[in-house]
Structure 1
Amino acid sequence: MFNPESFIEEVKPQILNEIGDEKILAAISGGVDSTTAAVLMYKILGKQLLPIMIDTGFLRKNEAKKVKEMLTGILPLQILDKSDEFITRLEGISDAEEKRKKFREIFYSTLSNIAKENGIKYLVQGTIAADWVETQGGIKTQHNVLVQLGINTEKEWGFKVIEPLADLYKDEVRALARYLGLPKEISERQPFPGPGLLIRVVGKLTKEKLDIEREVNEIVEDRLKGMEYSQYFSVIIDSQKVLDERISTEAKVPVYIYDTRATGVKGDVRSYGKIASIPEIDDYEKVREIVQRITKYDVTHVGMLINEKDEGKYSVGIRAVITQDFMTADFAKISLDKLKEIACEIVKNNKEIKEVFYDVTSKPPATIEYE
């Protein structure tokens, strides 16, 4: 059983011994992990900590403002707007791993500049166990996993990385956040990846898709809030797809395959496979059986269509999962009426959205995020 008080008693002398009276930079993404790591360090080191949130352009709607307000009186957070630079340099990239690695390069170069300007030699970040396990296993490159991959951060960017939460899992991080006195809006906050909406605009990144995803994600998070799902969000992909007769025969329902690929995990290794869609079925156990037949092929994510129209060029996916440690997860059994209500609102608010599907794939063979 995780004990936050014992954890702090253990790490505090290690941090004080490592940092001494040096200043340290904290990188905050807006998620619970990085925020908890920063607040922990602030409790231990006080004004030696410089907490920074970089607006990469891939944050949720009004994210930076909301996080700063939530941390008022808790952490003296500074916001640095670098959105134009990030979006310009990443626009047009399609491959999931290429996106993550390019984001990492820009992100840490930016932090390196801040550190040098302030004479800082240390960086604290909210890497947790699930991050480095997935990266070392080759499933996906978590942008904040560096040391575990043998990257020399001092040589590369001029700072040493401190990761006080690296052996914790998400439920333990939340328990620590509550112990540190963080408000529920932070301790129970929806997990949000460092690259943010960059990896929820699945496939080729364009400014239009990014802007639509930002609006849609707010609808999904708002409508599923309070339903006690572990994580829920939206994704956007190009809607081009074709009927796969072979898989349809196996699944015994029409199965369409999109041009866009997504990351999955099969046999504990990375699988960069196809995204499929199936018709609406009012029986989740039957859906589960169909998905198992489909994912025998080169398919990592399966979406059940909830709303379709003739016009539009994008498909929106709703993702909601239940998990304890984020290493495995099951899709949430949301009522079709609720899904249709959300899908109707999404389609109504943007003419470019052709269809909405609900992701009915567990982890494995899917990953929770698509990229």
Structure 2
Amino acid sequence: MSIHHDTIVILDFGSQYTQLIARRIRELKVHSVILPASTTLKSIRECSPKGIILSGGPASVTSIGRPRWAKEVLQEEVPILGICYGMQLIAHYMGGRVGEAKHREFGRSELTVLDSSDLFKGLEKTGPFSVWMSHGDRIEKLPQGFKAIARTGNSPIAAMKSANHRHQFYCLQFHPEVAHTSHGKQILNNFVHGICGAKATWTMGSFLHNSINEIQGQIGREKVICALSGGVDSMVAAAMTHRAIGKQLTCVFIDNGVMRKDEAKQLKKVFASQHFHYRMVDASPHFLKALGKTSDPEKKRKIIGRQFIQAFDREAKTIGKVKYLVQGTLYPDVIESISHKGPSATIKTHHNVGGLPAKMKLKLIEPLRELFKDEVRELGKELGLPVDMVQRHPFPGPGLAIRVLGSVSPERLAILREADSIFIDELKSQGFYRKTWQAFAVLLPIRTVGVMGDQRTYEHVIGLRAVTSVDGMTADWAQLPHDFLGKVSNRIINEVKGVNRVVYDISSKPPSTIEWE
């Protein structure tokens, strides 16, 4: 799609923030693409980038094991922005000196701007203001032709730029892409629009138009099935594919036995309101039997991934000569599942990415693979989907199997379904559902002592999780009122047989993930 839009190429050196850089650029309505640090110069040029960003990363430029990359990029006549490790890399290869900092900087730091002519143009003040640091090395000596344009107490060269107009280098020791950095969006805007001159043409309307053309070109006249879970991702993928190929599409909802309370009944009404053809299949016996007493979360995810594919293979046979399977895979799923775009660490396997079998009978189509959750919601509005569906909280493909911590059984699923239903009902009735990005209950693999009716109990524990976020890559725990949490806890303990304790999760992402497994 970069041929239709000005593009910023991001070379990934392993930072967990790389995807946030891409997201922030897209918020500026400019197309961005992440490529592995090892990408060849030829492949980078094929993207016709208006600018290049070198991401952060866990390595040190002074270490032997640093990532391999096409250092010829530094000779390109487009603006280059180095962030954290990317800044140190530029300094190292352009003749500067990088050394270990006397004091590492992790977290907030106070930045003072020394030059506000371009990268820091338009800021309310020159500082000091808060920025987010994450580094152990620092620039000890500037490369020839460079000058410092910002500093912190620990880093005299917290930002720098080159004076050579043929090769424009801009470097930041801090991370402008994270929400904790004041003026981060303005700094990126100055680079993307001001320095690179990229045009703001990347919208979900343009994405939809281009995607429909691509889907039509890929599928031709073949039959397609879509894995329909009822969540916003699969619904948007289905609606977009249906707009592209119409009656060639059959949507299939697989009841895997680990859905929420009354999920299938509610979704049947939603599906009936849409124009695409759909089928609902109860495959819960297959899933629950395959899960057995498995307690390892990675194994559970992969088991469910295999079972989904087997179920869709069975359905494809009944439909006849189906060649493609559409899934609502998102960019965060890909980033967290496999290090396919650089040396970043695998966080967890998503059932619809890393959990798929090596050999599949159906060819995958993932039209949302490069989008973040908020972009998908925008796309859903563009497609005219109901607001309630577009704003629905994310629900993991493995369902309640990864919210029942430990082994999965019908009895434990029943407890969790009731507790989760109470939590969501109260969030909606009290007006907190739309104010949280995701909320759910988990069943912990422990029991605790309690007292009910003057008798000792030894029963299950429910954990409640609610977070605020923009794209799911980072999240803060939702500070719900104490009296609200008290009411939810009281209802769960009184109404759900087998539970005598409720706890609330107050961890953020990172260091935690949103889901518990």
Q: Sort the TM-score into its range (normalised by shorter chain).
A: 0.7 to 0.9
8 Å contact 1:308–1:356 — kept in the other structure? no
Which among 321, 332, 335 is matched to residue 133 of structure 1?
A: 335
Shift of 1:354: 2.2
- Distance, in Å, in 2 between the alignment partners of 1:34 and 1:90 is 24
Give the one of 122, 131, 134 matched to 2:324: 122
CA distance 1:113–1:311, change in 2 (3 Å):
same
Match of 1:62 in 2: 262
Matched, 1:85 2:231: no
Residue 312 (structure 2) pairs with residue 111 (structure 1): yes
Given that residues 190 and 231 in structure 1 are in contact (C-alpha distance below 8 angstroms), is that contact kept between their aligned partners in structure 2? yes
Counterpart residue number, 1:222: 425
Kindly indicate whether residue 412 of structure 2 is the aligned counterpart of residue 209 of structure 1.
yes
Q: Give the alignment partner of residue 273 of structure 2, picking from 58, 73, 85.
A: 73
**Contact map agreement 2:448 2:460 (CA 8 A) in 1:** no
Q: What's the offset of the Cα at 1:151? A: 5.9
Shift of 1:70: 1.4
Which amino acid counterpart does residue 59 of structure 1 have in structure 2?
Answer: M
Equivalent-residue separation in structure 1 for 2:356 and 2:255 (angstroms): 27
In the other structure, the counterpart of 2:113 is: none
Give deviations 1:288-316, integer Å, cap 9, x for gaps: xxxxxxxxxxxxxxxxxxx9865232110
The secondary structure found in structure 1 opposite 2:325 is: strand
Please list every run of at least 4 consecutive aligned residues from structure 1 whose deviation after the TM superposition is greater than 4 angstroms: 149-152, 307-310
Match of 1:36 among 233, 236, 242: 236
Does residue 354 (structure 1) correspond to residue 500 (structure 2)? The answer is yes
Using structure 1 for the length normalisation, give the TM-score: 0.78
Q: Which residue of 1 aligns with 2:485?
A: 339
8 Å Cα contact 1:52/1:80 also seen in 2: yes
> Within 5 Å, which residues of 2 pair with 1:190-205?
190-205=393-408
Residues 308 and 108 (structure 1), Cα distance of their counterparts in 2 relative to 1, 3 Å cut: farther
Alpha-carbon spacing, 1:166–1:38, altered in 2? closer, same or farther (3 Å): same
State, as a whole percentage, how many aligned pairs show the same letter.
41
- 1:50 partner SS: strand
1:285 alignment partner in structure 2: none
- Alignment of 1:101 with 2:101, yes or no, is no
Q: Name the amino acid aligned to 1:348.
A: N
The answer as to 2:385 corresponding to 1:182 is yes
Match of 1:231 in 2: 438
**Is 1:70–1:185's contact at 8 Å kept on the other side of the alignment?**
no
Q: Does the CA contact (< 8 Å) of 1:311 and 1:352 recur in 2?
A: no
State the match for 2:342 in structure 1.
none
1:72–1:354: structure 2 CA closer, same or farther, 3 Å change rule? same
Asked if the contact 2:448/2:500 (under 8 Å) is kept, the reply is no
Deviation (angstroms), 1:351: 3.3
**Can you list the C-alpha shifts for 1:193-220, whole angstroms capped at 9, x where unaligned?**
1111111101121221111111111111
Query: 1:168 is paired with a residue of what secondary structure?
Result: coil
Distance 1:63 1:351, change over 3 A: closer
The correspondence for 2:353, drawn from 133, 137, 145, is 145
Give 1:109 deviation, angstroms. 1.1
Amino acid in structure 2 at the alignment position of 1:168:
L
Q: Which amino acid aligns with 1:80?
A: V
Residue 36 of structure 1 deviates from its aligned partner by 0.8
- Inter-partner Cα distance in structure 2 for 1:9 and 1:106: 33
For structure 1, list consecutive stretches of 5 or more residues without a partner in the other structure.
243-306
Counterpart residue identity of residue 332, structure 1: A
Distance 1:234 1:308, change over 3 A: farther
- What is the CA RMSD across the aligned residues, in angstroms? 1.9
Contact 2:212–2:240 (Cα < 8 Å) also in 1: no
* Structure 2 CA distance for aligned equivalents of residues 88 and 363 of structure 1: 33
CA contact (8 A) 1:100 1:195 kept: yes
1:110–1:56 CA distance, 2 compared to 1 (3 A): same
CA deviation digits over 1:324-347, x for unaligned, max 9? 110110000011111010000000
> C-alpha distance in 1, partners of 2:481/2:302?
37
Of the two, which has the highest radius of gyration?
Answer: 2
Greater mean alpha carbon deviation, residues 107-116 or residues 333-342: 107-116
Where do 1:287-306 residues align within 5 Å?
none
Deviation at 1:17, TM superposition (A): 0.8
CA distance change for structure 1 residues 150 and 51 in 2, over 3 Å: closer, same or farther? Answer: closer
Deviations 1:148-194 (A, max 9, x none): x9965xxx221110000000000000011111111112100111111
Cα offset, 1:5, TM superposition: 1.3
The 1:312/1:158 distance shift into structure 2, 3 A limit, reads: same
**Conserved 8 A contact 2:302-2:356:** no
Report how many residues are paired.
Answer: 302
Q: Which structure has the highest helix share of the two? A: 1
Q: How far off is 1:77 after superposition?
A: 2.2
What one-letter code is carried by the residue in structure 1 that aligns with 2:321?
G
How do 1:308-347 and structure 2 match up within 5 A? 310-347=456-493
Structure 1: which amino acid aligns with 2:507?
T
The one-character-per-residue Cα deviations of 1:122-164 (angstroms, maximum 9, x if unpaired) are: 0000000010111113211100015xx9965xxx221110000
Between 1:159-168 and 1:102-111, the stretch displaced more is 102-111
Question: C-alpha distance in 1, partners of 2:300/2:222?
Answer: 34
1:81 Cα deviation after fit: 0.5
1:91 Cα deviation from its structure 2 partner: 2.9
Mean Cα deviation higher: 208-217 or 309-318: 309-318
Deviation at 1:76, TM superposition (A): 2.6
CA distance in 2, matches of 1:327, 1:358: 21
Q: Against the structure 1 CA distance between its residues 150 and 69, is the aligned structure 2 distance closer, same or farther, given a 3 Å change threshold?
A: closer
Report if aligned partners of 2:247, 2:277 keep a CA contact under 8 Å in 1. Answer: no
Q: Secondary structure at the match of 1:71?
A: helix
Report the equivalent of 2:215: 15
Give the Å deviation of 1:240: 4.3
